[in-house]
Structure 1
Amino acid sequence: MLKIIDLGKTEYQEALKIQRDFFLKKRKNPEIGDIILITEHYPVYTRGKSTKREHIPDNLDAPIFEIERGGSVTFHGEGQIIVYPILRLKKNLSVKKFVYILEEIMIETLKEFGIRGFRKEKFRGVFTERGKIGFVGIKISKGISMHGFSLNVNVDKSYFSKIIPCGIKDIPVCNMADFIPGVKTIYVKNILISSILKKGRRKLL
């Protein structure tokens, strides 16, 4: 059974604790239900295991947390939908395929708004003609996933300009609002949840 929980807007530490608690329970007893947490964070930077020193300046204007996911540094803020799937993955589902499905959920969501999203070779995440719009960073332990993906709707992009997002220097970050001015996060969230239930549920569980 899959349960989707909308946490609303959260401080990063708060959501991380909820996520880790579910993850540890799930890893201890994989038979308990799968959970997907959805949230928006107040401004925060997170750095994954592949972050290099040159990706982050000395002085940032928001807190930064070092976490156990893959990938480099990124920003989370209001106007960005974040999805944390805490799932028992199918035994034949590789990490690469899992990431592919998460990207596909974002691509399908963008398509509903007439925005063409696509992958780029050698990079994780989702890109558009105007820049990177979707981000993926995960951890899998004993077949259980945590962390996840984020989709920019109308987030303050100036925070990204202070770092090298995902360690990629020459590709800008963009929002859905760059294509559809005035687009509402709540509406995108509803479409995103529908994409998760239609595409992700069938392939992930």
Structure 2
Amino acid sequence: MIPNRRYCVLKNLKLVKYTEAWAYQRSLVDKRINNPNLNDVLVLLEHPPVYTLGTGSTVDFLKFDPQVSEFEVHRIERGGEVTYHCPNQLVGYPILNLRYYQQDLHWYLRQLEAVIINTVANYGLKAYRIPDLTGVWLEEKKIAAIGIKVRRWITMHGFSLNVCPDLTGFQRIVPCGIVDRPVGSLAEFVPHITLDRVRVDIAKAFAEVFQVKLIEEISSDTGKK
């Protein structure tokens, strides 16, 4: 046990349908609103191909008609514009009670960026922020997107890091509404990188940045937590 550190349950899931993970997040948030003493949670998973739009995002950044599209599209309650999720992209959903950290959303966003930056540093790479934008870049390519929602200081949604995905799906959108900066992946800079390796590194970076003690719980069932 690490003295004075808050516990955070690490749930390593595999490929989870977006709507199932979305409902799961809401259930975790509801439980912590009802009982603020529950441990925090970090969910790590992948999604099948899906597009999501933030609350105030515009469909102008879609290069297809969502009303007649074959692609799965959801408008959700996070901030930010449209993004794309797919296999081999690592998605993290921290369910944290910010009353135990800092009740400051800008601070929280910068902490999530720090998690990604510290993770990428394990591979000898220097990722970075861009002023006035949210996310993480590596050699002019955006490798991680961040979008959050907070209810009564309980967080949901989170970050996505392109580890070794097929980036084709990003060609159908203007990712995060940024027209002049391409999307990239870690695999472009670290050949043979694997999602399993990055899972370990990102969990370690998360624990260090947020100063929590992770308790790992591995399961493939999002409906019985």
Residue aligning to 1:185: 195
Q: How does 1:148-167 map to 2 (within 5 A)?
A: 148-167=158-177
Task: Tell me how far apart the structure 2 counterparts of residues 103 and 50 of structure 1 sit (CA, whole Å).
Answer: 22
The Cα of 1:23 is off from its aligned counterpart by 0.8
CA contact (8 A) 1:41 1:76 kept: yes
Residue aligning to 2:88: 79
Correspondence for 1:26 among 26, 32, 42: 32
The Cα of 1:150 is off from its aligned counterpart by 0.8
Question: Which protein shows a greater Rg?
Answer: 2
Task: Tell me how far apart the structure 1 counterparts of residues 202 and 168 of structure 2 sit (CA, whole Å).
Answer: 25
Residue aligning to 2:104: 94
The Cα of 1:62 is off from its aligned counterpart by 2.5
2:211 alignment partner, SS class: helix
Map Cα deviations across residues 156-178 of structure 1 (whole Å, 9 max, x no partner): 11100110110000100000000
Instruction: Report % sequence identity.
Output: 34
The Cα of 1:199 is off from its aligned counterpart by 1.6
Task: Tell me how far apart the structure 2 counterparts of residues 50 and 103 of structure 1 sit (CA, whole Å).
Answer: 22
- Which one is further off, 6-15 or 170-179? 6-15
Q: Which amino acid aligns with 1:23?
A: V
Q: Which amino acid aligns with 1:72?
A: E
CA contact (8 A) 2:13 2:44 kept: yes
Residue aligning to 1:10: 16
- Which one is further off, 57-66 or 175-184? 57-66
Number of residue pairs matched? Answer: 202
CA contact (8 A) 2:187 2:193 kept: yes
Matched, 1:70 2:79: yes
2:209 alignment partner, SS class: helix
Runs of 4+ with >4 A deviation: none
**Greater RCO (CA < 8 Å, at least 6 residues apart):** 2
Task: Tell me how far apart the structure 2 counterparts of residues 14 and 131 of structure 1 sit (CA, whole Å).
Answer: 30
CA contact (8 A) 2:29 2:156 kept: yes
Q: Report the aligned-residue RMSD.
A: 1.3
1:90 alignment partner, SS class: helix
Q: Which amino acid aligns with 2:65?
A: D
Task: Tell me how far apart the structure 1 counterparts of residues 128 and 53 of structure 2 sit (CA, whole Å).
Answer: 24
The Cα of 1:18 is off from its aligned counterpart by 1.1
Structure 1 unaligned regions, length at least 5: none
The TM-score, its normalising length taken from structure 1, stands at: 0.94
CA contact (8 A) 2:103 2:153 kept: no
The Cα of 1:146 is off from its aligned counterpart by 0.5
Matched, 1:194 2:200: no
CA contact (8 A) 1:102 1:200 kept: no
Task: Tell me how far apart the structure 2 counterparts of residues 39 and 139 of structure 1 sit (CA, whole Å).
Answer: 18
The TM-score, its normalising length taken from structure 2, stands at: 0.86
Matched, 1:115 2:125: yes
Q: Which amino acid aligns with 1:77?
A: C
Task: Tell me how far apart the structure 2 counterparts of residues 61 and 164 of structure 1 sit (CA, whole Å).
Answer: 18
